[in-house]
Amino acid sequence: MEYDDKLIEGLKCQAQRLRRDVVISMGIGVAGHIGGSNSSADIVAALYFYKMKHKPENPGWRERDRFLLSKGHVGILQYAALAECGYFPVGDLKHTKEIGSYLQGHPDVLKTPGIEAGTGSLGQGLSIGLGMALGQRLDKINSKTYVLVGDGEIAEGQIWEAAMAARAFRADNLVAIVDRNGLQANGRTKDRFDTGDIIAKFLSFGWHVIEIDGHDMKQILDALNQADHVKGVPTVIVANTVKGKGVSFAENVVGYHNGMLTEETYRQALEELTVQDKAAAQDGAGEERQEAHR
């Protein structure tokens, strides 16, 4: 599918903005999940700013698409997306994890607008998402439920119970997205708990499987759009990503699964992401100028 260059570059810039917001949410000297947040930022940007139907002014809108962040420990990424969409002020991100803040370490459906369920107890999000998808179908709502899970998280047996049930109930309005960045809290996923060939597993469970580069915006959009045309079975998008993407010292470093930033690394992270954002914006402007001369 062809996309306007301005759309693609705009979404890339938005993903970089989410990464900057993640760093701001972490602040200095407080542990935060920059690794898995940054690996998923392109996917989350595509969902919130391109694909999903939702209304920041009316979070409970009946016709909305649902998004479940099953790996809820990277809640700072979802908070960034919600803030950038207008669910609450971007300035509130700096108060994440403070006592009394409505932005806590894991998403809280009772406190934060735009959150669909309390998540972070790993392995439960796909089951919750399946229930929501089946509810949408019963209510004859033409919407989808998207569930983002981690590649370490899929070691949880409940994921596969939900996978079996989703196929049995032909939940074709359910889309799972696996952030396959290869690292979890204590090391490489294949060393800590090797779940093998997850593509073959989901195929054997009867799902429609799409594998993509999780940082290639066009591939992300293609996969999300392809899922709209799958009938009778659920879809899983296996996104190959880089843990800590966009911050040089955090990329593919296990310690930044849940690490702290010093004043120096905080400033470095913001500087790097700002430079990348400006470069992406300039690339988009260049493409637009070329198009005007064709």
Q: What is the pTM of this model?
A: 0.94
Residues of the chain under the 50 pLDDT cut: 289-294
State residue 277's pLDDT score: 77
Distance CA 95, CA 92 (A): 6
pLDDT in tens, 230-262: 999 999 999 999 999 999 999 999 999 999 999
Per this entry, what is the length of the chain? 294
Distance CA 104, CA 269 (A): 22
State residue 264's pLDDT score: 98
Distance CA 27, CA 92 (A): 12
Distance of alpha carbon 120 from the chain centroid = 14
Give CB contacts under 8 A, 24+ apart, made by 4-7: 5/284, 5/287, 5/288, 5/291, 6/284, 6/287, 6/288, 7/50
CATH H-level, domain 5-293: superfamily: Thiamin diphosphate (ThDP)-binding fold, Pyr/PP domains (3.40.50.970)
Nearest in space to 250 (alpha carbons), one of 271, 277, 269: 269
Residue 34 CA: distances (Å) to CA of 40, 103, 235, 250, 285: 10, 16, 27, 8, 29
State residue 285's pLDDT score: 57
Q: How many CB atoms lie within 10 A of CB 204?
A: 10
State residue 292's pLDDT score: 41
pLDDT in tens, 201-237: 999 999 999 999 999 999 999 999 999 999 999 999 9
Distance CA 75, CA 67 (A): 12
State residue 227's pLDDT score: 98
State residue 281's pLDDT score: 72
